Amino acid sequence: MTTISYRDAVRRALDEEMARDENVIFFGEDVGRSGGVFKVTPGLFEKYGETRVRDTPISETAIVGAGIGAAITGLRPVVELMFADFAAVTYDQIINQAAKMRYMSGGQIKVPLTIRMAQGGGMNFGAQHSQCCESWFMSTPGLKIAVPGTPADALGLLKTAIRDDNPVVFLEHKALYSDRAEVPDEEYLIPFGKATVVRAGRHVTLVAIQRMVQMALKAAEQLVHEGIECEVIDLRTLVPLDLDTVLRSLRKTNRLITIEEAPLAGGWGGFVVSQVLDEAIWTLDAPVIRVTMGEGIVPFSPPLENALIPDEHQVIAAIHRLGIKV
């Protein structure tokens, strides 16, 4: 095992897949000589050259459009959108073209396109550069959505995404880029649709992704002193969604809280809750709680941003609302 950062794990995945398959290409704004605005991809341009690693104009529409074209003609492009918020201007291409081409061609056309985007708050980038955008894409059949929260998950899920014959929206949380943790030294892939239980417990199930997993773990650590044992689940991918792991946990804890760095309306947690109510409502001993950002727009002000984005204190307050008796 080697300890590396989240950003280095992304770079390693790209490097290994480009070395393995000459059809893998990579392009986006400032990803070449400068190594990306978040310094995720240094060295790839020098190693693979300007044919396979390309800087693009400042046009997300052009980037995604070129990626779709490259994918349907036999390449395996990985494209980078500097901020996930900017995916809004590419919505038609992602939703109506990339997601539907394989179905509309009767399987004759594959779209092995990976769209990498940096998302999330906590960095004081303001309202148009700080959103978590996973729910924008969840209502579109034909897309897979990966949301890695650790270096190992970033490595394993990105390699899996690049090898997939379907379009993958690969969301990296920008506040996690400097996080360091162990990753396997050997080739490492993580199948989509496999959540992980990052902490075992018996009183309440906390379901989260990316940075919110850390908030769940911080809350769980503090509640140990009260005798409350939290089970923390990192979904890792939202499409496909591993509901079975959540249901197995609920059969033990009988209580559920989802933690989302996103507005309440339309959040992925609402979908998880609806599935739980369909499949396992009688396992619940208390109402389900969703910890979210409510209706707030991410502010530029650091104190206001910190107040809006859920933290361990909000998670602890939600758990206390359940009235757990130990």
Residue 227 has pLDDT above 90, yes or no: yes
Q: Which residues are catalytic?
A: 60, 129
For 168, other C-beta atoms within 10 Å of its C-beta total 27
Specify the pLDDT at position 325. Answer: 86
Residue 46 has pLDDT above 90, yes or no: yes
pLDDT digits (tens, 9 = 90+) for 233-284: 999 999 999 999 999 999 999 999 999 999 999 999 999 999 999 999 999 9
Q: Please provide the average confidence, as pLDDT, over all residues in the chain.
A: 97
Over residues 81-107, mean pLDDT: 97
**Cα separation of 217 and 258, whole Å?**
13
In percent, the amount of the chain with pLDDT more than 90 equals 99
Contact 115, 67 (CB under 8 A): yes
Q: Which residues pair with 28 in a beta bridge?
A: 55, 80
Residue 22 CA: distances (Å) to CA of 28, 76, 116 = 18, 9, 19
Over residues 63-87, mean pLDDT: 97
Specify the pLDDT at position 301. Answer: 96
Specify the pLDDT at position 286. Answer: 95
Contact 253, 288 (CB under 8 A): no
Contact 38, 30 (CB under 8 A): no
**Cα separation of 278 and 195, whole Å?**
20
HEC profile of the chain: CEEEEHHHHHHHHHHHHHHHCCCEEEEECCCCCCCCCCCCCCCHHHHHCCCCEEECCCCHHHHHHHHHHHHHCCCEEEEEECCHHHHHHHHHHHHHHHCCHHHHCCCCCCCCCEEEEEECCCCCCCCCCCCCCHHHHCCCCCCEEECCCCHHHHHHHHHHHHHCCCCEEEEEEHHHCCCEEEECCCCCCCCCCCCEEEECCCCEEEEECCHHHHHHHHHHHHHHHHCCCEEEEECCEEECCCHHHHHHHHHHHCCEEEECCCCCCCCHHHHHHHHHHHHHHHHCCCCCEEECCCCCCCCCCHHHHHHHCCCHHHHHHHHHHCCCCC
Confidence of residue 53 (pLDDT cuts 50, 70, 90): very high
Over residues 145-164, mean pLDDT: 98
**Cα separation of 320 and 21, whole Å?**
51
Residue 326 has pLDDT above 90, yes or no: no
Domains of the chain: 2-183 (3.40.50.970), 196-321 (3.40.50.920)
> Could you tell me which of 81, 208, 98, 99 has the C-alpha nearest to residue 153?
208
User: Six-digit token pair at 155?
Assistant: 């490595």
In percent, the amount of the chain with pLDDT more than 70 equals 100
